[in-house]
Amino acid sequence: VHPTEGGKGEQYMLRKCPTGFRLVNDTGYKNQECVACGEGEYILRSDLECQPCPKSAYCPNRGPPVWGARVAESTLRLSGVSSEELQSTATMQAAKVAIADAAGVHPDMIEVRVSGARRQGGGSGLTVVVRIVVLEGQSTDHVDAVVSSQALGQSLVSALASVGSTSASAQSLTASTAATSTAGGSGMGWVYEMDTSSGLSYLRSCPRGSLI
């Protein structure tokens, strides 16, 4: 956020949004917000438009597409925190940074989603799915070890404590690793070219037997 030119510095113009969000900044600075792209979409930069994620790619956090990556996924049971608390901007950012540090990847390659909630004795528990995207050419050994151990849950609990949720606890339920063609959809053989100026992905080649 930057002060506008002129005036008394009381007006500010929104310049950039987080990964997966489109910048809305109308004339007059009265309508400034970051709007999330829809499910199955991506955005290259926040000043561009949301676009459908290419069929052969994976778009972590609705950000730029990645090809040939693998996704390590872990399902956790989280207690002592509500869905609203976990999904707040500050908590989610802290969670992604903590998990990224443990896994050795960029925070943009971390997805944290609440898939359900249920009663547990006298309290409630959340089912949380954590996805770690490992780019093509990078080893998955360390990430596999992280998702298969208690380190992922510990990182998540530490992140929650850093933003005030000190009673949270986590239990690992399942862990797996799959190619993004499995995790993101069925687009084998669909070859795209990215136009970095417009943020559009153009289909350039199709699988044998298909017409572009």
In a domain, 36, yes or no: yes
Residue 29 backbone zone (phi > 0: left; psi -120 to 50: alpha; other: beta) = left
CA distance 38 to 57: 16
Domain contains 212: no
pTM summary value: 0.78
* Same domain assignment for residues 80 and 163: yes
Helical axes 141-148 vs 89-103, angle rounded to 10°: 120
Q: What is the pLDDT of residue 68?
A: 86
Q: pLDDT tens track of the chain, all 212 residues?
A: 556 555 555 667 788 899 999 998 766 566 788 999 999 999 999 999 999 999 888 999 999 999 888 999 999 998 888 888 888 888 899 999 999 999 999 999 999 998 766 554 444 588 999 999 999 888 889 998 888 888 888 998 898 888 887 788 888 888 888 876 545 445 667 788 888 888 888 787 777 777 77
Read off the CATH number of the domain in which 76 is found.
3.30.70
Residue 65 within any structural domain of the chain? no
pLDDT confidence of residue 123: 47
Residues 178 and 191 reside in one and the same domain: no
**172 occurs within a structural domain:** yes
- Does residue 136 lie in a domain region? yes
Q: What pLDDT was estimated at residue 73?
A: 92
* CATH label of the domain that carries residue 8: 2.10.50
Radius of gyration of the chain (CA): 19
83 and 45 housed in the same domain: no
- Judge if 18 and 110 occupy the same domain: no
Structure-block tokens of residue 79: 């207690």
Residue span of the structural domain in which 102 resides: 70-184
The verdict on 128 and 155 lying in the same domain is yes
pLDDT of residue 21: 95
Whether residues 86 and 171 fall in one domain: yes
The pLDDT value given to residue 3? 60
Q: Are residues 124 and 163 part of one domain?
A: yes
Sequential DSSP letters for the chain: -EEPSSTTS--EE-----TTEEEEE-TTSSSEEEEEPPTTEE-SSTTS--EEPPTT-B-GGG-S-BSS-EEEEEEEEEESS-HHHHTSHHHHHHHHHHHHHHHTS-GGGEEEEEEEEEEETTEEEEEEEEEEEE-TTS--HHHHHHHHSSHHHHHHHHHHHHTT-TT-EEEEEEEEEEEHHHHH-S-TT-EEEEETTTTEEEEEE--TT---
Can you tell me the distance from the alpha carbon of 29 to that of 11, in angstroms, rounded to the nearest whole number? 8
Q: Are residues 161 and 88 in the same domain?
A: yes
Residues 6 and 84 in one domain: no
pLDDT at 100: 94
pLDDT of residue 134: 92
- Determine the pLDDT at residue 89: 83
Q: How many domains does the chain have?
A: 2
Q: What is the pLDDT, as a whole number, of residue 197?
A: 84
Residues 156 and 74 in one domain: yes
- Same domain? For 81 and 95 the reply is yes
